[in-house]
Amino acid sequence: MSLETDKYNFFKPGEQWRDTDNNIIQAHGGQVQQLIFTDSKTGNTVKKWIWVGEDKSSGARGGIRMYSSDDLHNWNSEGIVMRNVPSREALENDEYFKSVYAGYSEEQLDNVFRSLDAGSAIIERPKMIYNEKTRQYILWFHADGPTDTSNSSYAAACAGVAVSDYPFGPYRFVDRYRLNVCPDNQKDMHPSSKGMARDMNLFVDKDGTGYIIYSSEENLTLYISKLNEEYTYLETSPDKAVYGRDFIRLFPGAQREAPAVFEREGKYYLISSGCTGWEPNQARYYRSDAVFGDWENMGDPCVGDMKHTTFDTQSTCVFKDSTGRYIYMGDRWNSKNLSDSRYVWLPVKFTQDGNMLLEWQDKW
């Protein structure tokens, strides 16, 4: 796609999408946003669209990759921004890992390996936010894998965090955490495993407060938890967190995942999928006047989606383009060949009452 004439100038949902080096884009379960930063190569201040997502080029397990763009159509690969780790030794022998994890103790390196082990770690749904106070780029993701007591690939059920001074990394993995727990006076839908965090997303409100939105209680209940000022951990640790101030639980037992939150004209929207693994299912969105407000079930935003499968996609992000239009980003997973999972981006429409509508487009 290096020739001017080969440039994309439209979206073709579900079609193969290649980067400017003609490689298939690998940024699944991702997020798109526009940021202004200093380009490390030229020293110039630039404004770029940034797409972060899962690199599934070698199947279920991979690192986190980024792309940059001026027009949302043509994407330049910025490479793997957080690498998974081939072996414990690599953290001490490989130049890249030695420089990224310089200063880490043996114990910290053990944790990096356990959390990012290329052979066993699940690294999904990465989302990045910029922290203006610390001038750091903070990457959160679904960090999963086996534990000391379970061989299941999704036993850890944690949220992982990594940081960088530059949008395109390298991101240094900090830690992975279980998050808030159901208060004693509410009905925990999965009391045997506390603080689980799987499918996740981030949202920064107009006042700069950051939130992590995630499936907990064995994916039966969504949680929204407030992040600290640095966006690197919760505002209050789970043992001291106060319900309604530090976190809320949403729709206990409804089993929603793949959450994506955005704000429009003072209303907050949360779009979600059901829980059917890589298979698509019917979307449902909720609306509220505040992040920690009452979220109303608004149903399925899709129009003309005969199969009730969100046009064969699962939500991952909704963002606003430079014309003020909202764009839905969905993944069309291919469970037989995850690397060939496709991206389905669709324009979001709103009725006068602020109801969200999603309609299929072959090309737009």
217 binds ligand GAL (CB under 6 A): no
User: Is-contact 244 142, C-beta < 8 A?
Assistant: no
Phi and psi, residue 78, nearest 5°: -105, 10
CB of 122 to ligand GAL, least distance (A): 7
CB of 215 to ligand GAL, least distance (A): 8
48 binds ligand GAL (CB under 6 A): no
Closest-approach residue to ligand GAL (CB): 277
- List the x/- string, 293-322, binding to ligand GAL by CB under 6 A: ---------------------x--------
157 binds ligand GAL (CB under 6 A): no
CB of 352 to ligand GAL, least distance (A): 33
Of 310, 278, 265, 325, nearest to 11 (Cα)? 325
Q: How many residues bind ligand GAL (CB under 6 A)?
A: 10
197 binds ligand GAL (CB under 6 A): no
Among 19, 124, 188, 246, binds ligand GAL (CB under 6 A): 124
User: Is-contact 270 285, C-beta < 8 A?
Assistant: yes
CA atoms within a 13 Å half-sphere pointing along the CA-CB vector of 169: 27
CA distance 52 to 74: 14
CA of 43: how far to CAs of 40, 79, 254, in Å? Answer: 5, 19, 49
Of 162, 121, 127, nearest to 143 (Cα)? 121
CA distance 153 to 161: 19
CB of 199 to ligand GAL, least distance (A): 5
Among 199, 217, 305, 312, binds ligand GAL (CB under 6 A): 199
User: Is-contact 228 235, C-beta < 8 A?
Assistant: yes
CA distance 68 to 76: 5
Please choose, out of 31-39, 104-112, 200-208, 272-280, the segment that lies near ligand GAL by the rule CB under 6 A. 272-280
User: Is-contact 127 141, C-beta < 8 A?
Assistant: yes
**DSSP element (H, E) containing 108:** helix 106-116
Please choose, out of 64-72, 95-103, 225-233, 274-282, the segment that lies near ligand GAL by the rule CB under 6 A. 274-282
Q: For residue 218, how many other CB atoms are within 10 A of its CB? A: 17
CB of 53 to ligand GAL, least distance (A): 11
CB of 278 to ligand GAL, least distance (A): 5
Q: For residue 239, how many other CB atoms are within 10 A of its CB? A: 7
278 binds ligand GAL (CB under 6 A): yes
CB of 124 to ligand GAL, least distance (A): 5
CB of 142 to ligand GAL, least distance (A): 7
Among 32, 143, 162, 275, binds ligand GAL (CB under 6 A): 275
Please choose, out of 226-234, 273-281, 289-297, 319-327, the segment that lies near ligand GAL by the rule CB under 6 A. 273-281
| Touching ligand GAL, residues 232-261 (CB under 6 A) | 257-258
8 binds ligand GAL (CB under 6 A): no
Side chain identity, residue 262: F
Phi and psi, residue 90, nearest 5°: -55, -30
Side chain identity, residue 38: T
277 binds ligand GAL (CB under 6 A): yes
Which residues of this protein are in contact with ligand GAL, per CB under 6 A?
Answer: 29, 124-125, 199, 257-258, 275, 277-278, 314
